[in-house]
Structure 1
Amino acid sequence: MVMPTTRLDSDHNLKFHCKRSGLQSKAQKFLEKSSKAETAITCIVLLGTCMLIGDGALTPAISVLSAVQGIQSRSAKITQDHVVILSVIILVILFLFERFGTGKVGFTFSPIMLVWFGAIAVIGLYNIVKFDPSVLKSLSPHYIYYFFARNKEEGWELLGAIVLCITGAEAMFADLGHFNKQGIQLAFSTVVYPSLILGYAGQAAYLIKNPEKLSTTFYSSVPEPIFWPMFVVSTLAAIVASQSLISASFSIVRQSIALGCFPRVTMIHTSDKHEGQVYSPEVNYFLMIVCILITVGFRGGPEIGHAFGVAVILVMLITTFLITVVMVVIWQTNIILVALFFLVFVGIEGIYMTSLLNKIVQGGWVPFAISAIFIIITLSWTYGRSKKSEFELSRKMSRQEFDELVTRSTRLPGLCFFCTDLMNGIPPIVRHYVQHIGSLREVMVFVTVRILPVRSVLPDERFLVAKLGPNGVYRCLVQYGYMDKHTMEGDVYSESVIAALKDIAADEQEVEMLHSALRSGVIFVLGRIILKMDEKHSWFEHFVVDNLYRFLQKNFRSNVATLRIPPGKILQVGMLYEI
């Protein structure tokens, strides 16, 4: 079985492993001891995760639609139906392109983003000089006060539209695992932010002289000779922004799987340098279908903007809360600075959120609907796994019971690898297996596989072995990095495990037993657990475990699906857990 990245003392000795400080703040100790606090933070994280995935479906739809709609200003014969069809074609190509990996996609699109930001900066500067240079006075924050003093309640309602001006820039850095801190700071400070300021200021200057062009401001403000080149660049830039959120969805699902909060899907690492660069076909095609449905359903209307705004602001609010927790627990920042950060950002984002509340019925419900699907999946999976773990821990075999079971069993020649995700103790399915089979192989090795957050684990650090009981019973912890091939095929794997076991053998007789078992043949035993709630539980618990969890368990990839095990040497043992 494949285990999440549980920390062990031996991890500090791995040459590729990053060592971290062992200091703990009072807040960290509180979170570790308070189950209610951990549950609250987990729920907030899950909500933010699901909202970000919803953002990953909305961003491509609104970005591509907004870029493509520019062609309508060229001819009255081009209808909204043409825009939707062209947008769907672009979106399909974008999602199909994702399989090539974030690194290759980013390398291909980086020049496009430089051209895009350079172009909007130059066009913005041109419009400022041509139409109204005084528009640069808007950089002064005191105009915020004048805006609300003049517009009052209408100004507050307009915040729901203004929020779209601050979305999109964050898409470039949606998955921070793909960039380092210095790169983000340098790119945003010297390229992204100045270009956006000039671009928006230029459009404002253009609108001062041409207020009737409000609905087509961007393309109308582009000088006629460069319209088509700018149309191409803006469409490509929309694709880049979309790709960033899609990649972020892959990474956040991978992290949820590692924490045991999401059923296992295919995760393909596309870079041997960056752990965060992954691709998931299942997530990719789910987002593609949802994105196409949104594009066809809303057809570029204002509802898609409302949905996008609600999703982005909610993600920002949740991010601010979690960053505050990180500042207190991990960074151990001065509490005054933490409070100042929290109040300022929650105040700004909260005001934007309140202006979007009346937009929920006008399209703002979409991110909640997408999030609800993933929340149901994550909560059902997390609850089912927790019940399964509680059952196994409460009914795991004692050392004495296991020794008696081994002593009574008939021993057959050969080597048996019994795969389990229980790192400490012997799972109850072993009792079920021995009672029905009535025999054990000469050498039995309980195998647990761990995937570590490192690029590769050296061969001499791959196996951690120990004796589990008398008469040739051992435990083996197999450790892989995210770029290692998780294979148990061929003779190399079995011979490597036997070589590791020889190091802890007591005498030559035990060594000979190991070699004899290897020569006699190898079998892999996999356990398949089915949960069933008994009558004392509520109907809701029955529905979650007996229906939702079992459906996910059956239709998603199993824990051993990522391992390459010889198909002709597998014996699967099933057991019904009535809990």
Structure 2
Amino acid sequence: MSGAEGEAYGKKMRREEEEEEVAAESGGRADAERKAKLKERKVSWSKLKRVDSLNLEAGRVSMVAQNSYEMGWRTTLCLAFQSIGVVYGDIGTSPLYVFSSIFTNGIIKHEDDILGVLSLIIYTITLLPFLKYVFIVLWANDNGNGGAFALYSLICRHMKMSLIPNEQPEDRELSNYRLETPSSQVKWVHKLKQKLEGSLVSRVGLLFLAIVGTSMVIGDGILTPSISVLSAVSGISKSLGQDAVVGITVAILVILFSAQRFGTDKVGIVFAPIILVWFFFIGGIGLYNLFKYDIRVLRAFYPKYIFDYFKRNGKDGWLSLGGVFLCITGSEALFADLGHFDVRSIQISFSCITYPTIVVAYIGQAAYLRKFPQNVANTLYACVPHPLYWPTFVVAVIASIIASQAMISGAFSIISQALSLGCFPRVKVVHTSVKHKGQVYIPEMNYMFMFAWIAVIGDMMITTTLVSLIMLVIWKKSLWRVALFFFGFGFIEIVYFSSQLTKFTRGGYLPIVLAFFLTMVMGIWHYVHKERYMFELKNKISNAYLNEVANNPNVRRVPGIGLMYSELVQGIPPIFSHLIGSIPSIHSIVVFVSIKAIPVSNVASEERFLFRQVEPREYKVFQCVVRHGYNDVLGDPVEFESQLIQSLKAYVQEQNYSTTEVEVSENATEQATVVESSDKREAHHSSNKIIQNQSASPSSNSIRSLGGSVANSPIHGAEEELKFIDRALEKGIVYMLAEAEVVAHPNSSIFNKIVVNYVYSFFRKNFRQGQNSMAIPRKRLLKVGMTYEI
């Protein structure tokens, strides 16, 4: 590079770095850290040229979860306040119906049964949401995101457990991967990890757990509205009758689900104050009842009353656990909604507000029932002081609506995650907030929620299993600690689960059937999604075929840019040969585009596009992997096109310069070696220093001449390629998709034929098509027919 050009290039690079630093400072501390990480990692283009990662599978990667940046106390307390309105609506409204659900016949046989049930409630809340979730499970987050699929993504990045082999070495360069050197492990843990990675059953089982766990959380969003709103409205049952209660509840639910398309961002600012007022109401009323009726119920903190309760009631006591469990419904929201907050804020809000107020509320209700056991069917409203009755009723209805809204929104977010990971049929995902990427609305699922019920205890058991695996393999905790966590909490949850199963014939079959249906849909969709990818991988086009096409005079190159979409991230997809066979022409620039879901929550925009140019370069054929996390939004087509073309130009410039720079460096080194050898021979035959100086001069000048003459070439070469891209862009961009017909292989099993030819075909025909999900303009869409046999 010439002196003037080198100086200009250096100034440009310094100016860009200064602009990045200013932007990082304005974007906050977290963004600044990410920008600094990006600038520290410089990709070696010469190495990528020798090892084409888009045609090879990646090696094993070791990484750690992202640590949240340090927040000030003001920010943490603000998030803690906001979390009250989003996270705790469900568990906070459970005092509306728990005692009536435990004593279903409205009869309390023994006055000490109240103490036994209260003791069960206190220790259930303390052990499961408080100890397990708030102080253990919350730390098993994926870059600040929670939920079953977040745990699955975290495990898949630490272990090679994904069923689709689309890992790439460049993925480890993503800022959210947080790579580190593998630390030492106990030998048996390392062997366990290898066995799990090499076992297809283990990989399928892990995905199955994630799918079932997701189905359970979705069900929580379905269960909450009906129970919470009905229990809140039941406060007017004496005045208007039960029929009016049902009618008002249905009306509220219809309005609630109809309003989902507007999102929660616009009204979210009032959620926290209302739920906080609700907590103050139930906590204050609880203290009032405790001191007015029977302060001796505090004896329930002695766990012996639990033993006496089961001894006295036997099977009936065990069956009542289904009602006791309702006191912790919504506990998964502590983890699933973590993406909007941070661990510390949720720990503070639950420990200081939620936990003490709901425990005091149950204690107050128990004190009231010790004197008026006949009012157990409507305990909360019965124990409210008369002047506070109507204010409590109004706040209870609003709080139940907020609780329903939070759980529905959480279910939508989880479906969006499943969709991005290829585990759910294509549905329309509408992002209702520009501030919070996790706030989405899914029209197709919204109205299905209005008619569905599901049990949620199974999700807690799955979370226990996944977190135990994380503790063992990722956190590297000792075996006895993992066993204490797994068997301790697992035993409690299995006991509750067994109690729930006894209600199967009394309506309990509805949630189980729905859970099975959701699991079947997600499992079948991911199975076929994986098999389609494997079909493309096995039938990908070789570079030799591309050379044949390029040298075939019957194949025309038409002006413009062709974007050919494919699942494949390794090599050229088989759809290309079908296109050439049907229409013997290709665009002057062809880009094979693969939308790839990365097992992280977010991918930075500057890291999203990964390009590679297919050799030889004059063919103008590129491969592009568009990487996105499960919380990312790809954007509208116009924005996507602009980002892709700009990234392509940046790649052409950088590769053109970097490749030539490597060649200049290697040639200069060889030239310097030759000249240096010549100098030494001349110095050996002559002792004249003048001759030595004269011989040294040509070597220096030769290197400068070589560097100057070749360094100009990348600039001119890049300019020509950029002009070529601009000319092609003026002719337009055409999208090419496979009109895929997926059928079972003739030699496959009957079960596989039923799943693929009928079940999957039904799902695919009745859900959104690929071009609709990616919002591809129909006027520029070209479909190529192709049959996949799996």
Per-residue CA shift, 1:9-62, capped at 9, x if unaligned?
A: 4345556x4525463762444332222111112222222221222222111111
Question: What's 1:10 paired with?
Answer: 170
Tell me, what secondary structure is at the counterpart of 1:426? coil
Structure 1 contact 531–545 (Cα < 8 Å) conserved: yes
Amino acid at match of 2:584: G
Whole-angstrom distance in 1 between the partners of 2:787 and 2:392: 62
**Structure 1 residues 264-283: aligned runs within 5 Å:** 264-272=426-434, 274-283=436-445
CA, structure 1 residues 158+14, in 2 after alignment: closer, same or farther (shift >3 Å)? closer
Structure 1 contact 135–205 (Cα < 8 Å) conserved: yes
Residue 474 of structure 1: CA displacement? 1.7
Whole-angstrom distance in 1 between the partners of 2:333 and 2:460: 12
Whole-angstrom distance in 2 between the partners of 1:57 and 1:419: 36
Question: What's 2:587 paired with?
Answer: 441
- RMSD value, Cα: 2.8
Tell me, what secondary structure is at the counterpart of 1:23? coil
Structure 1 contact 173–184 (Cα < 8 Å) conserved: no
Question: What's 2:461 paired with?
Answer: 317
Per-residue CA shift, 1:80-128, capped at 9, x if unaligned?
A: 2221111111112222333343444443211111111111111111111
Whole-angstrom distance in 1 between the partners of 2:781 and 2:166: 27
Q: Which moved more, 1:160-169 or 1:279-288?
A: 160-169
Per-residue CA shift, 1:528-558, capped at 9, x if unaligned?
A: 2111123322332122111221222233233
Match of 1:474 among 617, 622, 632: 622
Per-residue CA shift, 1:442-477, capped at 9, x if unaligned?
A: 222212234665667445x55432221332222233
Q: Which moved more, 1:396-405 or 1:62-71?
A: 396-405
Structure 1 contact 415–521 (Cα < 8 Å) conserved: yes
Per-residue CA shift, 1:128-175, capped at 9, x if unaligned?
A: 111111111112222222222333333222222222233356556653
CA, structure 1 residues 531+483, in 2 after alignment: closer, same or farther (shift >3 Å)? closer
Structure 1 contact 273–455 (Cα < 8 Å) conserved: no
Structure 2 contact 166–570 (Cα < 8 Å) conserved: no
CA, structure 1 residues 156+465, in 2 after alignment: closer, same or farther (shift >3 Å)? closer
Question: What's 2:285 paired with?
Answer: 123
Per-residue CA shift, 1:58-88, capped at 9, x if unaligned?
A: 1111111111111112x2xx23222111111
Tell me, what secondary structure is at the counterpart of 2:285? helix
Residue 223 of structure 1: CA displacement? 1.1
**What TM-score comes out, normalization by structure 2 length?**
0.65
The share of aligned pairs that are identical, in percent, is 41
Question: What's 2:413 paired with?
Answer: 251
Question: What's 1:370 paired with?
Answer: 514
Residue 435 of structure 1: CA displacement? 0.8
Residue 372 of structure 1: CA displacement? 2.2
Match of 1:58 among 223, 245, 249: 223
Question: What's 1:553 paired with?
Answer: 764
Residue-pair matches, total:
553
Tell me, what secondary structure is at the counterpart of 2:523? helix
Per-residue CA shift, 1:475-528, capped at 9, x if unaligned?
A: 233456725524247984575255236424584765554444334443222222
Question: What's 1:496 paired with?
Answer: 646
CA, structure 1 residues 5+486, in 2 after alignment: closer, same or farther (shift >3 Å)? farther
CA, structure 1 residues 14+164, in 2 after alignment: closer, same or farther (shift >3 Å)? closer
Q: Which moved more, 1:336-345 or 1:404-413?
A: 404-413
Residue 188 of structure 1: CA displacement? 1.5
Tell me, what secondary structure is at the counterpart of 2:637? coil
**Structure 1 residues 89-238: aligned runs within 5 Å:** 89-168=251-330, 171=333, 174-238=336-400
Gaps of 5+ in 2: 1-163, 657-713
Per-residue CA shift, 1:290-337, capped at 9, x if unaligned?
A: 15xx6xxxxxxxxxxxx6xxx132222222122212211222222211
Amino acid at match of 1:249: A
Whole-angstrom distance in 2 between the partners of 1:274 and 1:30: 39
Residue 392 of structure 1: CA displacement? 1.1
Question: What's 1:413 paired with?
Answer: 559
Tell me, what secondary structure is at the counterpart of 1:527? strand
> Is 1:43 aligned to 2:187, yes or no?
no
Please tell me whether Structure 1 or Structure 2 has the larger radius of gyration of its CA atoms.
2
> Is 1:23 aligned to 2:234, yes or no?
no
Tell me, what secondary structure is at the counterpart of 1:561? helix
> Is 1:575 aligned to 2:786, yes or no?
yes
CA, structure 1 residues 115+416, in 2 after alignment: closer, same or farther (shift >3 Å)? same
Question: What's 1:299 paired with?
Answer: none
Whole-angstrom distance in 2 between the partners of 1:22 and 1:277: 35
Amino acid at match of 2:253: L
**Structure 1 residues 383-462: aligned runs within 5 Å:** 383-408=527-552, 409-450=555-596, 457-458=604-605, 461-462=607-608
Match of 2:198 among 15, 21, 33: 33
Tell me, what secondary structure is at the counterpart of 1:421? coil
**Structure 1 residues 64-103: aligned runs within 5 Å:** 64-73=229-238, 75=239, 78-103=240-265
Whole-angstrom distance in 1 between the partners of 2:306 and 2:351: 22
**What TM-score comes out, normalization by structure 1 length?**
0.88
Tell me, what secondary structure is at the counterpart of 2:508? coil
